[in-house]
Structure 1
Amino acid sequence: MNMLVIIAISAACLFAFNIGASGSAASMGVAYGAKVVKSRRIALLLAGLGAIIGALWGGHHVTNTLGKGIISEELIDVPIAAIILLVAGGTLLITNYIGIPLSTSEVTVGAIVGVGISFQQLYVTNILHIISLWLIIPFAAFMITFSFEKIRTKWLHKFKLKRSHKWLAVLLLLTGFFEAIAAGMNNVANALGPLVGADIMSMEVGLPLFAVIVALGSFLFGGKVLETNAKKITSLSLANGVVISSTTGFLVIIASFFGIPIPMTQVTTTAIVGISATKSWQSVWKQKIIHQIVKVWVTSPVISLVIAFSLTEMIVKQSFYTVVILILTIMITFVLLKYEVKVDKKIQKQTRREWQANE
C-alpha cells in the first residue's frame, strides 16, 4: 500500500477518534449533568451507540458534501486527502490539548477550502450556502429554546401545572440519545469525506468503520468532555434539558439530510443561551460564552484554511513564494494589532489625565 494512503487513513482514524472524544461524547452531557444517567460509562456508551446509528442512518449525505461538494472531485487525490486530514485532525488535536475549543466541521471545511484556494477551484455557491447555515441554524436554536421556555413558564404560571419528573427524566434520556444520533450523522463524515473523495475508501466500508472509531473515542476518552459539559448545565431543569437536546438533535439531523456539516457545539450552546435569555435578556450578551462562540466560529475554519493552503502550496505545487508572503502578512498583522492595542492604552491614559486635570 502507498505510504501516503497509509498516512491518510491513519490521520482519518486519529481524527475520528478525536471527534468521538471531543464532540460525540458531549451529546449526553445534559442527561448526565441532570443525573438522569448517573453512570459516566453508560452515558458514554449511549453517546457512542447513538453515533454509530446516526452514521449508518444518514452519514453519507455530509460525506458526499465534504468529498466532492466544496472542491472538484478530480482535485482530491491521495496527497490532497492526506493534507486535509492531517491539517483538520492535527489542528483539532493541538487546540483541544491547549484548551481552545474548535468545531470539527468548520476545521474540515476550512482545510478543504484552503486546498481549493491554492488550486483556484472552489464551488463558491456551496461554500456560501454552508457558511450562511452556520449562522442561521445556531440562531434558530436560540429562538426555538427562547420561545419554548417563554411558553412553558407562562403555562406553568397560568394553569399551575404540576411537573412530572419521572416522565421528564425519560424524555431527557430519549432526547439525549436523539442528539447522539444527530452527532453521528454529521460528525463521522468529517473524517471519512476526504477518503471517499480520493477513492481511498468506499462509503459502504468507511461509514461503519469510522462510526465504530468515533464510538470508541467517545467511550474511551470522552469522560472529560462529558464532565465539563455536565458542569455547565447543572443549573438547568429537566424540562430545559429536553428542549435543548431535542432542538439541537432536530436541527442537526435536518442539516445532515441536506448534506450540511454543522458545528454542533455552537448549536447546543446557543440553545442553552436561549434558555438563559428568558430570565435576563441584557445579561446574556455580556456573557463570555457569547464572545467564545464568535471566536470559535471565526478561528476554526481560518486556522485550518491557512495551514492547508500553505502545505498544498509547498508540498503539492512546490511554491514557497506564496507561503512566505502569507506568513509575513500574518506577522505584520499581529505586530500592527499589538501596536494598535498599545496606542489605545496610551490614548486612554492621556484621556484619564485630562479628565482628572479638568476636575
Structure 2
Amino acid sequence: MVTALLVVGLFVAAFVGYNIGGSSTGVAFGPAVGSRIVGKVTAAALFTVFALLGGWTVGRNVIDTMSSQIVPASQFTLATSVGVLFFAGASLLLSNLYGVPASTSMTSVGAIVGLGIATGSLNEAIMFRIVSAWIVAPLSAFLVGMVIGRYLYPHLDARFTFTRLESSLIRFDRTGAIPRPAFNDRATPRDILGSGLVLVIACYMGFSAGASNAANAVAPLVGNGSISVEQGILLAIGAIGLGGFTIARRTLATVGDGITDLPILAALIVSSVGATIITILSQLGIPASLAVSTTCCIIGLGWGRASRAVTLAEAASVATDPDVAQLDADAGPELSTGALGAESADDSPPSGPTVGTLAGTEAEQQAEAEQRQEVIEESDDAEVAPIGEEELDELAAESLFDPAATSRIVFLWVLTPTLSAIGAYVLFLLVL
C-alpha cells in the first residue's frame, strides 16, 4: 500500500511539474522564440537547464520552507502529501479552464495551510512572513515599474529597437568540412546586441522559475522523507522540462494572446523585475508568484509612462485642488497602462514589435516589420521630450488590460489558493 501511494505521489508531483513547465516556458522564452532568436526546441532545452540551475541552488531554500517550516515535516505522510499535491494540480486545471495563469506557489501553500489548520500544527510566524511578502512583492514590482516608466523607459525605447528576423539569428556555415556557427547575414550589430539581451533575460526567467516552482511539485514528498532534496529537484525539473518540450509549444506560439499591446522592451523590463523579485524571495525561502509580480510591474510601467505628461508639481496641484482636477479630467483622456502601447500622433507604429505581433501571422508580422523599419530609419537621432512636455493624447491609449478580464484574473488569483486551503482543511479534518 505504501509503495502504491508513493507511486501515486510521484505521478501527481510529475503532473504538477509538467503543467508548470508548459506555462512557464512560454512566459520566459516567448519573446526569444517570436523574434527568431532561438527555436522552440532550443528554448525548451535552455529553459530546462536554467530551471535546474535555479532549483538546485536557490530553490533548496523554498523546498525547506514548504517541506518543514509551514507545518512540521512529520505532518507530511504519504497520504497527506498526495492530498496537498492533488490540490496544487487541481488549481492548475482550474486556471487552464478559465485561461488564467494561477499562482502555483500560492495554491500549494494554501493546501499546506489547510493541512496545518486541520492538524493544529500551522506555524503562524512563518505564514505571517510569507503573506507579508505576498503583499510587499507586487507593490514593489508596481513601484519599480512606475519609476522606470516615468524616468527611464522613453530613453530606453529611443535607443533600443528589437526586430524580428526572417530566419534564425544563428545559422551553420556548411561550406567547410566542419559546419561552423555564424550569425544571420541580415543581422545588424544592433540585432545581435538586442537578441543577446532578450536571450539572457529569458534564461534568467528560467532560473527564477526553477527556483520558485521546484518546491511546488515535490516539497511534501521531501518533507516525509520519501525522496531526498536532490531527487526531488531532479524529479521536478525533469517534469518541468518535459512540459517545456511538449505542451509549451502551443504556449510559445500564442504567447501574445493576453498582452498583445505589450512591446518587447516592456516585456523584457517586467520579466527582469519580476524574476529579480522572485529570485530574492526564493533566496529567503519564501514561495511567491512570478505571474503576480510581473503583472503588477506591467501596470506600474504603463502608469509611469503615462504620467510623463505632467510634472510632479502639476500632479501635486491636481491632487490638492479639486477644481484643477475636474478641469484636467474634462480636458483629456485618463492616464492608463495603455501608454506602453500607444501610437504617436501621426499613427506611426511603435519602434519595436509587440509581443502580440510576434504571435501573429506571417503576413501581419511582415507588414509590421516594414512599417517599423521606416520609423527606425527616421528616429535614430530622435530626442525624448522632457517630463511635462509630452502630450497626454499621445501617451494615453486603450488600456492594456480589459477591466473585466483583469478583475477575473485577480479574483482567481485570490480564489484558487483560498479554495485550496478550504478543500485541504475539509479533507484532512475528515480523514486525519
Matched AA of 2:283: F
Aligned ranges for residues 1-359 of structure 1 at < 5 Å? Answer: 2-33=3-34, 35=35, 37=37, 39-153=39-153, 155=155, 164-280=190-306, 282-284=335-337, 287-288=402-403, 290-316=406-432
* Contact 1:168–1:239 under 8 Å retained in 2: no
d(CA) in 1 for partners of 2:101 and 2:159? 40
d(CA) in 2 for partners of 1:153 and 1:104? 31
Structure 1 position 228, deviation (Å): 3.7
Cα deviation, 1:265-298, whole Å, max 9, x if unaligned, reads 1112222222222344643497435424421331
d(CA) in 2 for partners of 1:265 and 1:38? 23
| Percent identical residues | 28
Structure 1 position 179, deviation (Å): 0.9
Q: CA 1:32–1:134 in 2, change beyond 3 Å: closer, same or farther?
A: farther
d(CA) in 2 for partners of 1:108 and 1:165? 41
Structure with greater helix percent: 1
Q: CA 1:78–1:270 in 2, change beyond 3 Å: closer, same or farther?
A: same
Structure 1 position 100, deviation (Å): 4.2
Cα deviation, 1:197-232, whole Å, max 9, x if unaligned, reads 111111122212321211111221112333343344
Matched AA of 1:283: S
Q: CA 1:129–1:63 in 2, change beyond 3 Å: closer, same or farther?
A: same
* Contact 1:165–1:238 under 8 Å retained in 2: no
Matched residue of 2:255: which SS? helix
d(CA) in 1 for partners of 2:408 and 2:244? 24
Structure 1 position 185, deviation (Å): 0.6
Cα deviation, 1:238-260, whole Å, max 9, x if unaligned, reads 43233222111211111110011
TM-score by length of 2: 0.67
Structure 1 position 24, deviation (Å): 4.1
Structure 1 position 154, deviation (Å): 5.4
* Contact 1:111–1:308 under 8 Å retained in 2: yes
Structure 1 position 14, deviation (Å): 1.0
Q: CA 1:36–1:142 in 2, change beyond 3 Å: closer, same or farther?
A: farther
d(CA) in 1 for partners of 2:426 and 2:144? 41
Q: CA 1:145–1:264 in 2, change beyond 3 Å: closer, same or farther?
A: same
* Contact 1:118–1:309 under 8 Å retained in 2: yes
Structure 1 position 42, deviation (Å): 2.8
Matched AA of 2:197: L
Matched AA of 2:428: T
Structure 1 position 161, deviation (Å): 5.2
* Contact 1:59–1:185 under 8 Å retained in 2: yes
* Contact 1:138–1:271 under 8 Å retained in 2: yes
Structure 1 position 177, deviation (Å): 1.0
d(CA) in 1 for partners of 2:23 and 2:201? 19
* Contact 2:150–2:306 under 8 Å retained in 1: no
Deviates more, 1:123-132 or 1:177-186: 123-132
What does residue 332 of structure 1 align with?
none
Matched residue of 1:2: which SS? helix
Q: Which residues of structure 1 form unaligned runs of 5+?
A: 317-359
Cα deviation, 1:130-189, whole Å, max 9, x if unaligned, reads 1121121122112212212322245469xx757645423321211111011100011011
Q: CA 1:250–1:153 in 2, change beyond 3 Å: closer, same or farther?
A: closer
Matched AA of 2:412: V
Q: Which residues of structure 2 form unaligned runs of 5+?
A: 162-189, 308-334, 338-398
Matched residue of 1:97: which SS? helix
* Contact 2:148–2:304 under 8 Å retained in 1: no
d(CA) in 2 for partners of 1:165 and 1:140? 32
TM-score by length of 1: 0.79
d(CA) in 2 for partners of 1:162 and 1:168? 7
Aligned length: 313
Matched residue of 1:102: which SS? coil
The structure that has the greater radius of gyration is: 2
d(CA) in 2 for partners of 1:73 and 1:51? 25
d(CA) in 2 for partners of 1:64 and 1:202? 11
